[in-house]
Amino acid sequence: MKKRVLLTSRGFSHKGGVVNYVKTLYNSEHIKDVEFKHFAQSRRSGSSPNLFLDIIVPLFNLLKFVIVLKKFDPHLVHLNPSIQRNSLIRDFVYSIISKVLGYKTIFFIHGWDWKMFRNIKKYIFFRVPFVEALKKQNIIMVLSKDFKEALNELGIKDDKILITNNMVNTNRYYKGDKSFYEPINVLFCSRMVKEKGIFELLESIPLVLKKHPQTKFIFMGDGEFLNVLKEKAKKKGIKSSLLFTGYLVGEKKIEFFYKSHIFVLPSYSEGFPTVVLEAMAACMPVVTTPVGALKYIIKNGKNGYLLNNVPPEKVEIASKINKLINNPQLMYKIGKNNMESTIKKYDEKIVSKKVSKIYENTIN
């Protein structure tokens, strides 16, 4: 008899790492003993304040969640929040309802906002309900040793916390070995927001072009600062060396990963970004910051390079990119190693089977 697991996230048509994780898990061919049901959380459109909708939409989601729970009658509810106010409140409420109705819960914390976490830790009226809600979960999953230790400091015991990985379908991104001789394509793929280090990356481009003028930079994604970046690139006279693709999915996205040689993600904060695993599967060295799980999975000279500072400095970003371009053999070696690492540790087949085992142990 298959075990029934209710997965929660936004609808599969939405963007983001949480949705990608849940969608990959839901569609995995490697979990044979689980019947999944996906609960898609509605979200009101528009950003302008609307008190009526701000009340009605969460209440509608709550009612819908209770109906799905009673109808599907899962053995386990797998919640997927981030350390963000609305996300935590929503999923804590869902977990309390699940517990009241007699269901076991897994609370998988994906994104991690350190500023918010410090506020939770600092103020007792945030900390107490946060800790008590977490203690009621059967299992808490996190993406980094740092996150586990942070929860330990709040009194959450080790036996309740599991460190897990995000996952990638390696076969989709590996299209064969690459040539790493110039001209080189440098890829950035994420939301165009300040916290992703986009402006520091843009400032580093002239320093790369000074030594390697044929290098092309690809900015993939959309966001509030996309047009600002385009205007800055124009003013700096580097527009011809940049390509802004907008938000891409599927084969169009994968095509750029295959054509690119170096992946750069100079973020201020991360959990365990799937996009880095996609880059590794596509045989790219990774230049990134030592945040979240990245400080543990990216080893200097083996998987790419970690930047020393957060926020990053343009000179160091350029230095790391130039160091790689100067050594095609090293890039090939790192790219090959990254692809093999994703197969062994982060491939959908490996991770989904581990999640299935966690389900089994939690349910039993």
Ranges of each domain in the chain: 3-167+348-363, 170-345
Give the span between the Cα atoms of 219 and 213, in whole angstroms: 18
Tell me what the mean pLDDT of segment 113-134 comes to.
94
Instruction: Just give the CATH number of 3-167+348-363.
Output: 3.40.50.2000
Per-residue pLDDT tens digits for 20-50: 999 999 999 889 899 999 999 876 555 555 6
* Torsional sign, CA 227, 116, 300, 331: negative
Per-residue pLDDT tens digits for 128-184: 999 999 999 999 999 999 999 999 999 999 999 999 999 999 999 998 889 999 999
Which is more confident, 14 or 63?
63
Contacts of 266 (CB under 8 A, 6+ apart): 196, 197, 200, 201, 287, 288, 289, 307, 311, 312, 317
**What integer pLDDT is reported at residue 44 of this predicted model?**
55
Is residue 354 pLDDT above 80, yes or no? yes
Q: Are the C-beta atoms of residues 174 and 281 closer than 8 Å to each other?
A: yes
Q: What is the model's pTM?
A: 0.91
Residue 238 vs residues 61, 208, 241, 324, 346: alpha-carbon distances, Å: 47, 11, 5, 21, 36
Is residue 53 pLDDT above 90, yes or no? no
Is residue 59 pLDDT above 90, yes or no? no
Q: Are the C-beta atoms of residues 342 and 156 closer than 8 Å to each other?
A: no
Instruction: Just give the CATH number of 170-345.
Output: 3.40.50.2000
Q: Side by side, which strands form the sheet with 3-10?
A: 34-41, 3-10, 76-79, 104-108, 139-142, 161-163
Place of tokens 């599907």: 72
Tell me what the mean pLDDT of segment 188-199 comes to.
96
Q: Do domains 3-167+348-363 and 170-345 have the same CATH topology?
A: yes
Give the span between the Cα atoms of 95 and 103, in whole angstroms: 9
